[in-house]
């Protein structure tokens, strides 16, 4: 039997669960996981149903579900169990890349890393030691448009489903953000909305906060304002310099990013306006 | 419209969600919350479905659902939105009682406190200031059987649905545990299974652990071994005396117990052998 | 023997610990707790030393220490073990007041509550049940100057050493902030610097953060920008409405505020510019 | 100037801080960090003082401090800033080794990894990719004494100051534990004292706990009973299989072990009977 996942959202009204479960029952599918969230603020229902069936071909199911979807005004997606292909972008800090590589190699990341892109050469050895192609795309103000086109070519070449900015320290153009919309995840090294922008650990030190954190979010044109997928925090105190905050903060970055990538890869993240519904 | 909750468990097989959603659709019910857990270790499905319907009378629904339940071998319960009546037992420490009273008075506890029973007089003022009847039932070795019968009488007199041992420092007899099975929650002042029995903060100090915690669990005849509903922990260090561990630990006790009572009151806790499924 | 606490800060240079310990040795004092922080960013040493001595009169020690202090350019304070007198200000939410009262009554707060001031009448019963004088000072735009003068009179009347804004929902004037500088603590219901200003739980909901928190800080004229003493956080998810965020957030508010008051009362908090050094 | 650290413990009495600071002042040393803990339960003072001095030769200082130490009955150690040499032992799980290698390579671990020993060949590639010698020492019941002797030879050959059991799945003999006393750290994959012994994540699953954790402790002959240096925990729920508990638990293992190694390397951990004093 094959594994499939249906995610959908639609205006709340009676009969939705029944319609979905009837559809799956008629397929002979066996529901293995089912989660739903009735957003009473937005009057919208979000649902994720994982199932096994003799035939779980996403394209076929998508077509067969059309009538039901139309009846309820559903936005929906069928996914099969294919692991998404992930391209990772880095600059000089390797902790998130290192962490993702280990989870991938030991089978705890339900996705496949396919390449690493960087504007620096520093992490080439780490990528290549893991058997990952490393593509160096230097960027400066003048070369940015060409560099971004080059990135899109690489994304296409490696058939990447997801781009992960694992401490990639360049701001993407609005145009690139839009093209990657919904399939690019960034890790920001602060507990957003605090300390947007540059040098957040220095900002955190200056403000004297008692926890630092990290935020994994979808990339949007509005820098550090994308929908938040996951956040992790850790307690700190007055004795820690900005550098020491960064050292302990890195552990939260790696954890938050790894969770966000896993949840995205398993189709557990849905967008609700500017917020996320995460069925973990 | 009335609010109802269906909780059920049964052997896993295809068609369960469909059968339940069809039943509710035929009722004209609107599903407002639905959670399920497919325990692949035990091959059992657990489900909690909250709904609104014109008629959500638990007794009627129970009868009408019988055929469906029989077909799938379901153990099930329909509950209406009635707030359970809670009797609290204490000894001398008042932090959990104080906390539950405040949540009850401010409307954040979906249950009604109806009386306080204690083997000491110390907390009478706190109970009575909250308008709660306070019943003093002293206990010693000789009087224990009579005291426990008196407790059962009080439970009956106040029509209590749930008994909460909020730092009640007497061991209940096996017989009483069995009579209260599934409707008595205890808070133990350690992160179980560590530090069972007496003076857990002293045990924690002697062992030099770096976090202390608290465990809310159903009462069973096997002391400190009942199914765990919730646990909370807090970081501590070598400087803290047993008394200081107790002081910070009390905050975790009150939090864990309040959550456990809330989840139980909302029919969010199901038993899976010796473990709990908590649909919070 | 009497208990004393010396806190000091001064430019870093060799010999400071030696000078302080010699002074205390000559007194016949026994050091019971000693913490220091060498802020290499600011090149400043912060120190807190608790001791017991036959005579620990703060005034005498202050005078005797003058020469040493001058030599090293120290800012310093001797305190005896007197518990500070605390005036609490509230509006309608009682969770922080309720929590502080309990800690005070059970002896886990090293301070004495002396009165409650509010711009509403709602919490009069809670204050009076605890035996605390309740002073109702209504405030509107027109009456604000008079109301603030009345507050200062009450502070003086009750000889309050510390004013705790335990969810007091009025902005204080710059002048009042300055008069209470260093002796007023506020609890803000967000993890600052995120979600300053009004309705932070609604802001947190709209932004879709995955933790909410609370911040206890010294009151300054710059609203929600005072030096942070303590922060606490709790994990939340997409299912929670702003009201539910507020419900779980309240537990973090009470915890963070209680810790901040305790640390302040024990002279454990020192100011380092806009940051705090907390020797807890 | 050179960096030194003095750690000491002695019976509590007046004058200790003064004697130490006078000694350091006479050396012309500048105290950069000073922590002390007055254990009133055991009536013992623990102290750690870091300093810079023109000459911080540990041997010389040790000799010069003898008189002071004798006067106060101190147990003491002077250390210079030499980074300890660490030998890591593993079996098949690589997450802790992987984590320590990264921290070492990026400069956030104040110690030097010098070799990896394993009873399996699985992690040879990981060690060798990091440039670390990998020594395979197979163990079975019959070969255990010889294997342990071989390990001691390797410890000596690499002049290892510290042995880290980073998920080494063999029980050490009492004799080996004693020989490595105070210089071997183990990570146990549970929140001790819960779930000692084999397969703790399976035990945790069976008991239905709501957090799992990890414990870094000094190795003693009494298995899983050594003095605890650090513990980390993470929230889990009923849905997680033992394997999923292990996956999230591994993150806590790596974190707790890395902190314990760091603190040990910086002479921040002192023994107080069966407990640790950790001046982090």
Residue D173 and residue D227 in one domain: yes
Distance from CA of C210 to the nearest CA of A (A): 6
Say which of A106, A247, A255 has its CB closest to residue D251.
Answer: A255
Q: Give mean pLDDT, residues D184-199.
A: 96
List the catalytic residues of D: 224
What's the gap in Å between the CA of D176 and the closest CA on chain B?
A: 23
How close, in Å, is residue B110 to chain C by CA atoms?
Answer: 13
| Same domain? C149 vs C244 | yes
Contact D189, D253 (CB under 8 A): yes
Number of residues in chain A: 280
What's the CA gap between A257 and A162, in Å, rounded?
13
Q: Quick check: C82 pLDDT over 90?
A: no
CA neighbours closer than 13 Å in the CB half-sphere of residue D2: 14
* Contacts of B among chains (3+ CB pairs under 8 A): A, C, D
- Nearest residue on chain B to C246, alpha-carbon basis: B108
Residue B107's CATH number: 3.40.50.170
Smallest Cα distance from D11 to chain A, Å: 29
- Kindly write down the DSSP assignment for every residue of chain D, as one continuous string: -EEEEEEEEEE--TTHHHHHHHHHHHHT-EEEEEEEEEETTTTEEEEEEEEEES---HHHHHHHTHHHHHHHT-EEEEEESPPPEEEEEESS--HHHHHHHHHHHTT-SSSEEEEEEESSSTTHHHHHHTT--EEE----TTTHHHHHHHHHHHHHHTT-SEEEESS--SPPPHHHHHHTTTSEEEEESS-TTSS-SS-HHHHHHHHT-SEEEEEEEE--SSTT-SPEEEEEEEE--TT--HHHHHHHHHHHHHHHHHHHHHHHHTT-EEEETTEEEE--
Mark yes or no for CB contact C17/D21 under 8 Å. Answer: yes
Binary contact (D24, C18; C-beta < 8 A) = yes
Closest CA to A34 of A52, A51, A10, A22: A51
Residues of B in contact with A18 (CB under 8 A): 18, 21-22, 24-25
What average pLDDT does this structure show over C84-105? 97
**D221 and D173 both lie in a single domain:** yes
CB contact under 8 A, B31 and A17: yes
The stretch B135-154 carries a mean pLDDT of 96
Contacts of A31 in chain B (CB under 8 A): 14, 16-17, 36, 38
pLDDT at C56: 77
In the numeric block, which tokens belong to residue C252?
Answer: 């973090």
Interface test with B, best of C93, C108, C240, C259 (most B CBs within 10 A): C108
Question: Residues of chain A whose C-beta is under 8 A from some C-beta in C?
Answer: 37, 40-41, 191-195, 205-211, 213, 227-228, 230-231, 233, 237-239, 241, 272, 274-278
Q: How many other C-beta atoms lie within 10 A of the C-beta of residue B174? A: 12
Q: In this structure, what token pair is assigned to residue A68?
A: 């039901």
Residue C256 has pLDDT above 90, yes or no: yes
Q: Out of C36, C60, C80, pick the residue that ends a domain.
A: C80
Identify whether residues D75 and D140 lie together within a single domain.
no
- Model confidence at B97: pLDDT above 90: yes
Per-residue confidence band for D55, with pLDDT thresholds at 50, 70 and 90: confident
Structure confidence at residue C170 as a pLDDT band (50, 70, 90): very high
Contacts of A246 (CB under 8 A, 6+ apart): A189, A201
Average pLDDT for D133-141: 96
Residues C102 and C72 in one domain: no
Chain A residues touching B38 at Cβ < 8 A: 31-33
Measured between CB atoms, which of C15, C17, C32 is closest to D38?
C32
Distance, in angstroms, between C238 CA and closest chain A CA? 6
Q: What is the pLDDT of residue B80?
A: 87
Query: Nearest by CB to C18, which of D13, D22, D36?
Result: D22
**D61 and D90 together in one domain:** no
Cβ A15–B25 below 8 Å, yes or no? yes
| Cβ contact C25–D14 (<8 Å) | yes
| Mean pLDDT over the full length of chain B | 95
Domain count, chain D: 2
Average pLDDT rounded to a whole number, residues C256-276: 96
- How far apart are alpha carbons B206 and D42 in whole angstroms? 11
pLDDT at C81: 77
The 8-class DSSP code of residue A271 comes to E
Chains A and D form CB pairs within 8 A to the count of 16
Strands (E), C91-170: 112-118, 134-136, 162-165
Task: Kindly indicate the confidence band of residue B81, based on its pLDDT and cuts at 50, 70 and 90.
Answer: confident
From the candidates A30, A174, A224, A237, which is the catalytic residue? A224
Answer yes or no: do A139 and A163 share one domain: yes
Q: Do residue A17 and residue B34 have CB atoms under 8 angstroms apart?
A: yes
Based on the domain organization, do B97 and B140 belong to the same domain? yes
Counting as contact any 3 or more CB pairs under 8 A, the partners of D are: A, B, C
CA distances to C16, D13, D48 from D78, rounded to whole Å, are 21, 21, 10
Same domain, A137 and A73: no
- Optimal mutation site among C195, C201, C202, C209, interface A, most CBs of chain A within 10 A: C209
Q: Model confidence over B38-49: pLDDT tens digits?
A: 998 889 999 999
Positions of chain A with pLDDT under 50:
none
Give the pLDDT band of residue C1 (cuts 50, 70, 90): confident
Is B94's CB within 8 Å of C102's CB? yes
Q: Which position among C38, C224, C237, C251 bears the catalytic label?
A: C224
**Residue appearing with tokens 């096997």:** B222
Average pLDDT along chain C: 95
Beta-carbon contacts below 8 Å between A and B: 53
Q: What is the C-alpha separation between A249 and A235, in angstroms, rounded?
A: 9
| Main-chain dihedrals φ then ψ at residue D268, nearest 5 degrees | -100, -5
pLDDT tens, residue by residue, D226-267: 999 999 999 999 999 999 999 999 999 999 999 999 999 999
Q: What does the pLDDT read at residue A56?
A: 77
Residues D118 and D230 in one domain: yes
Q: Which of D101, D75, D95 is nearest to D16 (CA)?
A: D75
Helices (H) and strands (E) in chain B, counts: 9, 13
Contact C209 A228 (CB under 8 A): yes
Helix or strand run (H / E) with residue A4: strand A2-11
CB contact under 8 A, D106 and A129: no
User: In this complex, which chains have at least 3 CB pairs below 8 Å with chain A?
Assistant: B, C, D
Question: Where residue A34 sits, what CATH number does that domain have?
Answer: 3.30.70.260
Judge: B208–D274 Cβ closer than 8 Å, yes or no: yes
pLDDT score of B8: 98
Nearest residue of B to residue D211 by CA position? B231
- Chain D contact set for C235 (CB, 8 A): 235
Q: C251 vs B255: CB contact, 8 Å cut-off?
A: yes
Helix (H) or strand (E) holding C102: helix C95-105
* Statement: residue D1 has pLDDT above 80: no
With beta carbons less than 8 A apart as the criterion, state whether C68 and C20 touch.
yes
Which residues of B are less than 8 Å from A30 in CB distance?
13-14
Residues A101 and A142 in one domain: yes
Catalytic residues of B: 224
Three-state secondary structure call for residue A240? coil
Query: Which of C34, C56, C80 is where one domain is finished?
Result: C80
Q: What is the mean pLDDT of residues B209-214?
A: 98
Domain termination site, one of D45, D61, D80 = D80
Above 90 in pLDDT, residue C248?
yes
Which residue in A15, A22, A36 is closest to B34 by CB distance? Answer: A36
Q: What angle do CA A128, A130, A132 make, to 5 degrees?
A: 55
Per DSSP bridges, beta strands A162-165 and A85-90 are: parallel
Q: How many residues does chain D have?
A: 280
Residue A9, domain extent: 2-80
> For residue A45, what are the β-bridge partners?
A10, A38
Structure tokens at A234: 């850790």
Considering only the beta carbons, identify the residue of B94, B102, B247 that sits closest to C95: B102
Q: Which of A21, A29, A35 sits opposite B35 (nearest CB)?
A: A35
Per-residue model confidence (pLDDT) at position B90: 98
Please confirm, yes or no, whether C153 is among the known catalytic residues.
no
pLDDT in tens, B218-228: 999 998 899 99
φ, ψ for residue A76, nearest 5 deg: -150, 160
Residues from chain D contacting residue B274 (CB–CB below 8 Å): 206-208
Percent of chain B with pLDDT over 90: 91
Render pLDDT for C173-207 as a digit per residue (tens, 0 to 9): 999 999 999 999 999 999 999 999 999 999 999 99
Contact B211 D193 (CB under 8 A): no
- D92 falls in which pLDDT band (50, 70, 90)? very high
Yes or no, beta carbons of C277 and A192 under 8 Å apart = no
Sequence-separated contacts (24+) of C55-64 with Cβ below 8 Å: C55/C2, C55/C27, C56/C1, C56/C2, C56/C3, C56/C4, C56/C29, C56/C80, C56/C81, C57/C2, C58/C4, C61/C4, C61/C6, C61/C27, C64/C23
In this complex, do C238 and A208 lie within 8 Å of one another by their Cβ atoms? no
The pLDDT of residue C42 is: 86
Question: D138 and D58, same structural domain?
Answer: no
What pairing do the DSSP bridges indicate for beta strands B112-118 and B134-136? parallel
Smallest Cβ distance to A228: which of C208, C272, C277?
C208
- Residues of chain A with Cβ-Cβ distance to D98 below 8 Å are 98, 102
Cα dihedral B155, B156, B158, B159 sign:
positive
Give the DSSP letter of residue C227: P
For residue D270, what pLDDT is reported?
97
Contact present, B203 and B190 (Cβ < 8 Å): yes
Inter-chain touch B247–C108, beta carbons under 8 Å: yes
In Å, how far from its chain's centre is CA B228?
9
Residues sharing a CB contact under 8 Å with residue D127, sequence separation 6 or more, in sequence order:
D97, D116, D133, D134
Mutate to test the interface with D, among C4, C11, C16, C17 (most CBs of D within 10 A): C17
Are the beta carbons of B27 and B20 closer than 8 angstroms? no
Q: Which of C228, C241, C272 sits opposite A210 (nearest CB)?
A: C228
Chain D residues with at least one Cβ partner in B under 8 Å: 37, 39-41, 191-195, 205-211, 213, 227-228, 230-231, 233, 237-239, 241, 272, 274-278
* pLDDT value for A41: 83
Structure tokens at D52: 């810079």
User: In the structure encoding, which two tokens stand for residue D68, read together?
Assistant: 């002071």
């Amino acid at each position: 039997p094959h594994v499939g996942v249906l995610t959908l959202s639609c205006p709340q009204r009676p009969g939705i669960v029944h319609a979905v479960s009837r559809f799956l029952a008629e397929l002979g599918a066996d529901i293995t996981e089912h989660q739903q969230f009735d957003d009473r603020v937005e009057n919208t229902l979000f649902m994720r149903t994982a199932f096994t069936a003799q035939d779980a071909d996403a394209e076929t199911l998508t077509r067969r579900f059309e009538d039901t979807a139309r009846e309820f005004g559903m936005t929906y997606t069928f996914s099969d169990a294919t692991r998404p292909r992930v391209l990772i972008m880095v600059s000089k800090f390797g902790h998130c890349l290192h962490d993702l590589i280990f989870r991938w190699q030991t089978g705890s990341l339900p996705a496949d890393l396919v390449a690493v892109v960087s504007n620096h050469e520093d992490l080439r050895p780490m990528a290549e030691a893991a058997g990952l192609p490393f593509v160096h795309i230097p960027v400066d103000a003048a070369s940015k448009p060409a560099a971004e086109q080059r990135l899109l070519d690489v994304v296409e070449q490696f058939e990447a489903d997801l781009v992960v900015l694992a401490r990639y320290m360049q701001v993407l153009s609005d145009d690139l953000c839009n093209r990657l919309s919904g399939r690019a995840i960034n890790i920001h090294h602060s507990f957003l909305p605090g300390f947007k922008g540059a040098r957040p650990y220095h900002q955190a030190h200056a403000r004297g906060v008692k926890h630092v954190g990290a935020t994994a979010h979808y990339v949007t044109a509005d820098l550090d304002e994308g929908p938040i997928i996951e956040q992790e925090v850790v307690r700190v105190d007055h004795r820690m310099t900005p550098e020491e905050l960064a050292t302990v903060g890195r552990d939260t970055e790696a954890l938050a990013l790894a969770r966000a990538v896993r949840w995205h890869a398993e189709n557990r993240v849905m967008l609700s306006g500017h917020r996320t519904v995460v069925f973990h």
